[in-house]
Amino acid sequence: MKPDLRLLFVCLLLVVLPLVVVGFLGVALARNEREMTGVRFREVLVSQLRDVSERITGLLEERERALMAQPNLSGSSPEQLRSLARNSGLVRQYFVLDREGNLVYPDPAGELTGAEEDFLVQTRSIWVNGEIPAPEADVSAAPRQTKLQGKGPSAAKGWHAAYWGRGLSLIFWWRDESSHVAGAELNEARLMADIIAILPEAWPEISSEASRLPNGRIALTDAKGSVIYQWGGYLPAQNERPQAQLSLLPPLNAWTLSYYTTPEGTGSAVLFNILAGTAALAIALAGMAFYLYRENTRAMREAMQRVTFVNQVSHELKTPLTNIRMYAELLEGELAETTDGLRGRLDVIVSESQRLSRLINNVLTFGRTRRNLLTLHKTAGNVDEVLRTVLTHFEGALRAHGMEMVFEGNAAHEAEFDADAVQQILGNLLSNVEKYAVNSDRVTISSQQEGDHVTITVTDNGPGIPPRFRDRIFEPFYRVSDKLTDGVAGAGIGLTIARDLARLHGGDVTLEPSAQGSCFKVVLHAPTRHSGEAT
């Protein structure tokens, strides 16, 4: 069957038109998708900046633990504190407050070194304004204070950050066991060197998603915007804005981490999403179009099968009618011939008439089956007697083909069944033997009655049915070959009708395995009538 060009065109439109519409919608939604992708991209960058910030915060926490692990500073003399500061590479200057919040070291009224004088000048506003709380003050107002575990309810610590002439100055203070406040101004040069030492020298591969991002650059800047340290292979333009920024945690919250990367880094994800969605839609539409085309083609093929069926039935009906007419004309012109010759011609007329009747019955039964109008008319009868009647009709035709017909009847009890249906089932099976088992010299028909079931078996020793066709021979219109020139006529509905009638009887027709030829088994539900029951 040639492909339907109009159907192909319609299926093509079903695929192309939605794709065009989706394409326009994709262009309209691309900007929004790009923005959403940019947000997700920046979240990844911020997560990397947050990792760097946590490293710096971890360094300050190490400084806290190191300072608080020192001996009690409030009980040390000024000389001891000066010596401790000189020998420490982390601290520039220590200080101590008494319980009333007065500065006892370095003592403004005592003898001071040059470093101590500079410290008091630079931190004067801290002591005047009370920016570091006294031991008896409310510690909840102090910035970034945390309770010291195991040191009592009044113990606390905190940071103070300020910018003086030489830059950022960090002061850490804590309450010791004697309820004094001790503190230290960190060495900013040493602190800066330690911070730079823990920063990565190349791109930080934090996650599998981050490893797919383009190369970039991270810059650490102070409160004035000056770059303290930066790393990464990407070189941003002079006025380029960072893709992501993050402020450090206190006390370095005036410092900022900035992430610079190529603007094209967010475009590939948007393009991939649009292409993936369009491809998925194209596959779905193509599948739907293929399904519609296949179903339409199947419907057209079934229609062609019905047309072929009508043609084959017409051919089947024409042949017996032609023979009937021919032999009737011969009979009319040769009435004076011998009795034997006249009987032979009459036998042909009867046989062909019977074949024509079977064909017509099959067509009518098949039509009722397709419309769910087929019903049975069960009456009491003898299955073997019905089988013998059918065999009498086929005896002459099978003998003409050189086949010996053997009947083994074992269903003589009266039972309830549709005699016409049983005749049609056996007639269709024997008709197939007549057509296809041409090399067979023997056909055996046997019956068996067990309880309420009757089994009929039709066996021949012909060529049989090839294994690849065994699963399809009961399909309507199916034939091993549809060519009328093969020498075998038929519409391909005989076995279908036989199975339908058997199933209406509560049974079935099956093709049984056999060493040679074919063996069809018919099982019918035919309740046996017991003696004494009304007929």
Domain spans, the chain: 70-195, 339-525
CB atoms inside a 10 Å sphere around CB 375? 10
Pairing of strands 404-408, 442-450: parallel
The pLDDT, as a whole number, for residue 168 is 79
**pLDDT confidence of residue 264:** 52
Q: Is the pLDDT of residue 145 over 50?
A: no
Residue 480 exposed, middle or buried by CB count within 10 Å (0-12, 13-18, 19+)? middle
**More confident of the two residues 134 and 433:** 433
pTM score: 0.45
- Look up residue 136 and give its amino acid: E
Measured in Å, how far apart are the chain's first and last C-alpha atoms? 57
Contacts of 38 (CB under 8 A, 6+ apart): 266
- DSSP letter, residue 443: E
pLDDT of residue 302: 73
Residue pLDDT, tens place only, 365-386: 655 565 566 678 889 999 999 9
Higher pLDDT, 132 or 521: 521
CA distances to 183, 249, 253, 353 from 330, rounded to whole Å, are 138, 119, 122, 16
pLDDT for residue 489 is more than 60: no
H or E segment and range at residue 210: none
Taking alpha carbons only, the member of 98, 244, 250, 117 closest to residue 180 is 98
Task: Give the list of residues 6+ apart from residue 504 with CB closer than 8 angstroms, or none.
Answer: 374, 375, 376, 421
Q: Angle 339-370/419-436 helices, nearest 10 degrees?
A: 110
**What local confidence, expressed as pLDDT, does residue 420 receive?**
87
Q: Tell me which amino acid residue 441 is.
A: D
Q: Provide the pLDDT for residue 142.
A: 42
| pLDDT surpassing 80 at residue 113 | yes
Distance CA 523, CA 392 (A): 22
CATH superfamily of 339-525: Histidine kinase-like ATPase, C-terminal domain (3.30.565.10)
Structure confidence at residue 209 (pLDDT): 41
| pLDDT band with cut points at 50, 70 and 90 for residue 318 | low
> Looking at residue 385, what is its pLDDT?
94
Cis peptide before 320 (omega within 30 of 0): no
pLDDT at 184: 92
- For 186-220, give one letter per residue: b (16+ CB within 10 A) or e: bbeeebbebbeeebeeebbeeeeeeeebeebbbbb
| Upper half-sphere CA count for residue 235 (Cβ side, 13 Å) | 1
Determine the average pLDDT of the residues in 283-303. 76
* pLDDT band (50, 70, 90) for residue 151: very low
Q: Is residue 506 very low, low, confident or very high in pLDDT (cuts 50, 70, 90)?
A: very high
Question: Residue 167: which residues within 8 A CB-CB, separation 6 or more?
Answer: 188, 222
pLDDT band at 432 (very low <50, low <70, confident <90, very high): confident
pLDDT in tens, 21-74: 777 776 667 677 777 777 888 888 899 899 999 999 999 999 999 888 887 888
Residue 155's pLDDT band, with cuts at 50, 70 and 90, is very low
pLDDT of residue 204: 47
Mean pLDDT of the chain: 77
Contact predicate 222/228, CB 8 Å = yes
| pLDDT, greater one: 1 or 122 | 122
